[in-house]
Structure 1
Amino acid sequence: MTYAPVTLSDLANFVPQAASLTSQPRGWTVANLNTNFIAGASTHVVGGSLFGRSAEVRFTPHAYDWNYGDGGTQTTSVAGARWDTLGMREFSPTSTSHVYGSEGSFTTSVAVRYGAEYRVGGGAWIPVSGEVSSAATTTVVIVQNADTVLAARDCTAGRTAPGC
């Protein structure tokens, strides 16, 4: 007996976990400098029932569709990472960063596209054609202008130097 392949619509009752979204700096940034964004999404398994049998669906992130709230968008294959994890200085460009050109309050979002595999009764994983998209929570970024100041000495050691 031959069965039709399982499709994404057959797996509609299996929903991927919502991803999280954070930014660096958190909640604010400086106009014309890089703001780093990180999606919290990982491979995970959701249990349930498929055709009356115990089944599991494994969701694996494949792509991230970023909307930066100012008209800027991009798609990446990575979730992003913290600057310190990447060994980078703050405001360095990353694969998920964005530069805001003006002041304002911007609501950013990311949709994670997952590939899906299923298994019934603990059997082998079977891939399913297509992707499932899941929106993460949004985050608001306040963008402000900043002026730099030159100081005669290190201002962290003492505030007596000119410019501190």
Structure 2
Amino acid sequence: MSEPGWWAALNLPANFYALTPSEIQKGVLKKFDVEVHFYPVAWHWDYGDGTTTTTTAPGASWAAQGLPDLTTTPTSHRYRERGTVIATLTVDMAAEYRFDNGDWIPVSGTIAVHPPAIHLRIYSVHTVLVNPNCPPDPRGTGC
């Protein structure tokens, strides 16, 4: 996921976060109940402009973090050029298993999971100061 959405503002933070929950798969193997627990352990972000980072947390929306929009976060990125980018994420998932509700046994290694890519348009933005107490002026002469 990305904020503010399908676009980002040049030189301002775009916030990225992943929704990668743990998952338990259940089955039967040789008449024994078996469970395999998959859980994320690392997030590899490729922001699409040659910049990458790896985090040990999935990030979160600005609102979930109690932050105002356009705040820098551990998973945010500032784009330095206008244009179109494709941001991608690879999540390393670890696993463990158990039989008949016994102790969890770790599986060595991880599995790479690739959520859908995010296509972003990077725009230049310009701020304009506006006097809210000034009525509209059709002649454009201002207050």
The interval holding the TM-score normalised by the smaller chain is 0.7 to 0.9
Show the counterpart of 1:98: 77
Q: CA deviation at 1:43?
A: 1.3
Question: Which of 60, 65, 76 lines up with 1:86 in the alignment?
Answer: 65
The answer on 1:64 being equivalent to 2:40 is: no
Show the counterpart of 1:6: none
Q: Structure 1: state its 5+ residue gaps.
A: 1-21
Task: Give the TM-score taking structure 2 as reference length.
Answer: 0.87
SS in structure 2 of the partner of residue 150 of structure 1: coil
Show the counterpart of 2:125: 146
Question: Which of 54, 61, 76 lines up with 1:75 in the alignment?
Answer: 54
| Superposition CA RMSD, Å | 2.2
Q: Which amino acid aligns with 2:52?
A: T
Matched-pair identity in %: 35
Q: CA deviation at 1:51?
A: 7.0
Q: Mean alpha-carbon deviation: is it higher for 120-129 or for 95-104?
A: 120-129
Q: Structure 2: state its 5+ residue gaps.
A: none
Show the counterpart of 1:160: 136
Q: What CA distance in whole angstroms lies between the structure 2 residues aligned with 1:143 and 1:126?
A: 46
Q: CA deviation at 1:52?
A: 7.8
Q: 1:137 to 1:52 in 2, by over 3 A?
A: farther
Q: How many residues align?
A: 139
Q: Which amino acid aligns with 1:152?
A: N
Task: Give the TM-score taking structure 1 as reference length.
Answer: 0.76
Q: CA deviation at 1:82?
A: 0.7
Within-5 A mapping of 1:5-20? none
Q: What CA distance in whole angstroms lies between the structure 2 residues aligned with 1:159 and 1:81?
A: 40
The answer on 1:46 being equivalent to 2:25 is: yes
Q: Mean alpha-carbon deviation: is it higher for 138-147 or for 40-49?
A: 40-49
Structure whose residues are more often helix by fraction: 1
Show the counterpart of 1:31: 10
